[in-house]
Amino acid sequence: MDDSDAPIECRSLLVIGGARSGKSRYALALAEAAAAERVFVATAAAGDAEMAARLAEHRAARGAGWRTIEEPLALAATLRAEAREGRIVLVDCVTLWLSNLLIAGRDLAREIADLAEAVGDLAGPAILVSNEVGAGIVPASALGRTFRDWQGRANQALAQRCDAATLVVAGLPRLIKPAPRPALRLR
């Protein structure tokens, strides 16, 4: 094993990637390997039958080793209340949380800042899963562009506060923070 394969210790991790990239599966595996006491914070709301079926499928796939909290809005407060030594908290996902806030007319800048502050000061380890939405086409609607912009801001704020960040593409995780800093040659 070389230094690039050596695991890094971190207290907070942002796992980011596109839809169906494997980021949730990766985050679940990390959490299951890290602690016997696990809390899953689900930010999705079952707005229709199809979404309710998805949520039930995800809950069943997690198994009995998880305690699930459904919290679509008060994510920072939930993290502060649940994170503690010996327990890992997994949030899936920041993207749905942000969508819920946007629909509820909340102050997104304040909510993102509060979540980022909470992540930096938790009493125990946490993994946050979020979608990378800025790598695709520009959304056609103003609402879509607003959401994409706020999601980018949220991801940047969380990446700054988390100890580590991993990008998952096609099921393959790549550590992006901490990362070596390039040294440019001037000649």
The pLDDT tens digits of the residues spanning 18-37 come to 989 999 999 999 999 998 99
Residue 141 lies in a domain: yes
Token pair in block for residue 84: 């503690």
Residue 187 lies in a domain: no
Helices (H), the chain: 23-34, 49-62, 75-82, 94-104, 108-120, 142-161
Residue 116 lies in a domain: yes
Q: Residue 3 pLDDT more than 80?
A: no
Q: Which residues of 111-146 are buried (b: 16+ CB within 10 A; e: fewer)?
A: bbbbbbebbeebebbbbbbbbbbeeeeeeeeeeeee
Summary mean pLDDT of the chain: 91
State the DSSP H helix or E strand holding residue 167, giving kind and residue range, or none if neither: strand 164-169
Residue 84 lies in a domain: yes
**pLDDT for 85-129, tens place per residue?**
999 999 999 999 999 999 999 999 999 999 999 999 999 999 999
Q: In this predicted structure, what is the pLDDT of residue 43?
A: 96
Decide if 58 is catalytic: yes
> What is the domain count for the chain?
1
Q: Residue 6 pLDDT more than 90?
A: no
Residue 133: φ, ψ to 5°: -105, 0
Token pair in block for residue 7: 């695991």
The order of strands in the sheet holding 164-169 is 66-70, 37-42, 87-92, 126-131, 12-17, 164-169, 172-177
Domain carrying residue 17: 6-177
CATH number of the domain where residue 159 is located: 3.40.50.300
Residue 139 lies in a domain: yes
pLDDT average, residue stretch 128-150: 92
Please give the single-letter amino acid code of residue 174. Answer: R
Residue 134 lies in a domain: yes
Residue 10 lies in a domain: yes
Q: Which single residue is written with the structure tokens 């909510």?
A: 111
Q: What's this model's pTM, rounded to 2 decimal places? A: 0.91
State the Cα–Cα distance between residues 64 and 41, nearest whole angstrom: 15
Given 34, 35, 45, 58, which residue is catalytic?
Answer: 58
Please give the single-letter amino acid code of residue 63. Answer: G
